Amino acid sequence: MRAVIQNSVGGPDVLATAEQPDPTPKAGEVLVRVKAAGINPVDGAVRAGHYKLLGEPPFILGWDISGTVEALGAGVSGFQIGDEVFGMPRFPKQAAAYAELAAVPADEIAPKPSGADHIHAGALPLAGLTAWQGLVRHGGLKSGQRVLIHAAAGGVGHLAVQIAKAHGAYVIATTSPQKLDFARSLGADEVLDYTKGDFADKLRDIDLVLETVGGDHAEHSLKVLKRGGVLVSLLNVSDATKTQAKAQGVRVERMSVVPDREGLLKLGQLIDAKKLAVHVAKSFPLEQAGAAHAFLATKPIGKVVLTA
C-alpha cells in the first residue's frame, strides 16, 4: 500500500509517500480501505516533534478515517466486507490513517452516515467527537442553556456550534472578523469578533464555555460563567485558574478526546437528520500531505482532508 511516512520530525516537507507492507487485521480488528483521512492540529504538532504521542519516527500520522471494510479479523461481527465506516481509532496511539489501508479496532468505528460522503465523514471523527464529548459528556449540555463556543469557525468549533444548537442551547460564538458570517450560518445566536474588544466585557451568565484557544483564555472565560457553570477546556488549565473556578463555584473539565463508537453513532444521526454538516475547506491527495499540513496552518474555515 501507499502511505505517508515521516523519517524525522520537522516542517510539512518531512511528509513523504512510500510503499509500505499492507497491514493485517488482528483479532477484533477490521482492515479499512481508506478513502479519506481528516487532518487535525494534533497531527501537525506530532509531525513537528512538539508532541511525542507516537515516540520517535518513523511513523505514520492520522486518526480520522472514512473508508470501506476490506477484511475482517478473527471474532469480528457486525461488519461485512464492503461496508462504509468511519471513526477515530486508537487515539492517542498510532492509527496510521494517512495510508491506503489501516487495521483498526472494530469497536472504535461505526457505519458511515449516509448523509455524508467519505471526504466529509473522514473530516468528522476527531473534531466531532471532541465537540460531542466536550459539550455533552463533560459539559452536561442541556436545552435552554447559554453556551459560549470559542474559535467557532475552526474544526471543533463549527461542529460544536451545530451540536449545541441541536440540543436547544442559546449559542454565542467567537471568530475573527472574516469568519463571523460563517458562524452565523451555522445557527449561532450571537457572534463576537474577538479582535474587537474583550468578550468578557460583553457576556454574563453563561452556563457552559467550550475553550479551544489556550493561553489565558480559560482564566478569562471564568469571568462570563455563572455559579454552577462549567468550563470545558481542550487545552491546559493552570492551577491558578482551577483555584479561581472553585472559588466562583464553577466546574472545570480539562478533556482529551477518546475513541467512542457511541459518540460516532450520535454524530451520524445528527448528520442524517441534517442537524450537523461538516465544512471541508479543501481536500488533497495523499501525495500532497505536506501541502495539506501547510494549508491547515493558515487557519482555513472548517476542516482539511487527505484522499487516498
Ligand X SMILES: NC(=O)c1ccc[n+]([C@@H]2O[C@H](COP(=O)([O-])OP(=O)(O)OC[C@H]3O[C@@H](n4cnc5c(N)ncnc54)[C@H](OP(=O)(O)O)[C@@H]3O)[C@@H](O)[C@H]2O)c1
Residue 53 binds ligand X, judged by CB under 6 A: no
Number of residues that bind ligand X (CB under 6 A): 25
Residue 122 binds ligand X, judged by CB under 6 A: no
Residue 183 binds ligand X, judged by CB under 6 A: no
Task: Spell out the residues 6+ positions from residue 253 whose beta carbon is closer than 8 angstroms to its own.
Answer: 134, 138, 139, 230, 231, 232, 233
Q: How far is the CB of 173 from ligand X (least distance, A)?
A: 9
Q: How far is the CB of 214 from ligand X (least distance, A)?
A: 6
Residue 165 binds ligand X, judged by CB under 6 A: no
For ligand X, the closer of residues 40 and 288 by Cβ is 40
Q: How far is the CB of 98 from ligand X (least distance, A)?
A: 17
For ligand X, the closer of residues 146 and 150 by Cβ is 150
Q: Contact at 8 Å (CB) between 106 and 233?
A: no
For ligand X, the closer of residues 26 and 50 by Cβ is 50
C-alpha cell at 22: 499492507
Residue 47 binds ligand X, judged by CB under 6 A: no
Q: How far is the CB of 248 from ligand X (least distance, A)?
A: 22
Of residues 219 through 278, those in contact with ligand X by CB under 6 A are 234-235, 255-257
Q: How far is the CB of 31 from ligand X (least distance, A)?
A: 26
Among 59, 79, 170, 194, interactor with ligand X by CB under 6 A: 194
Helices (H) and strands (E) in the chain, counts: 10, 15
Rounded Cα distance between 293 and 306, Å, is: 10
Backbone angles phi, psi at 31, to 5 degrees: -90, 120
Among 94, 145, 162, 175, interactor with ligand X by CB under 6 A: 175
Residue 299 binds ligand X, judged by CB under 6 A: yes
Give the E-state strand segments of the chain in sequence order.
Answer: 2-5, 16-19, 29-39, 65-72, 84-87, 101-105, 109-111, 146-149, 170-175, 190-193, 206-211, 225-233, 251-254, 280-285, 303-307
Among 6, 17, 94, 212, interactor with ligand X by CB under 6 A: 212
For ligand X, the closer of residues 167 and 217 by Cβ is 217
For ligand X, the closer of residues 1 and 258 by Cβ is 258
For ligand X, the closer of residues 193 and 287 by Cβ is 193
- The distance between the two most distant Cα atoms of the chain, rounded to a whole number of Å, is 58
Q: Please, what is the Cα angle at 156 between 57 and 200, to 5 degrees?
A: 120
Residue 42 binds ligand X, judged by CB under 6 A: yes
For ligand X, the closer of residues 79 and 194 by Cβ is 194
Rounded Cα distance between 288 and 261, Å, is: 30
Residue 8 binds ligand X, judged by CB under 6 A: no
Q: Any idea what DSSP says for residue 127?
A: H
Q: How far is the CB of 54 from ligand X (least distance, A)?
A: 15
Residue 75 exposed, middle or buried by CB count within 10 Å (0-12, 13-18, 19+) = exposed
Rounded-to-10 torsion of CA 288, 290, 293, 297? -120
Cis peptide before 259 (omega within 30 of 0): no
Binding residues (CB under 6 A) for ligand X: these are 40-42, 127, 130, 150-151, 153-157, 174-176, 179, 194, 212-213, 234-235, 255-257, 299
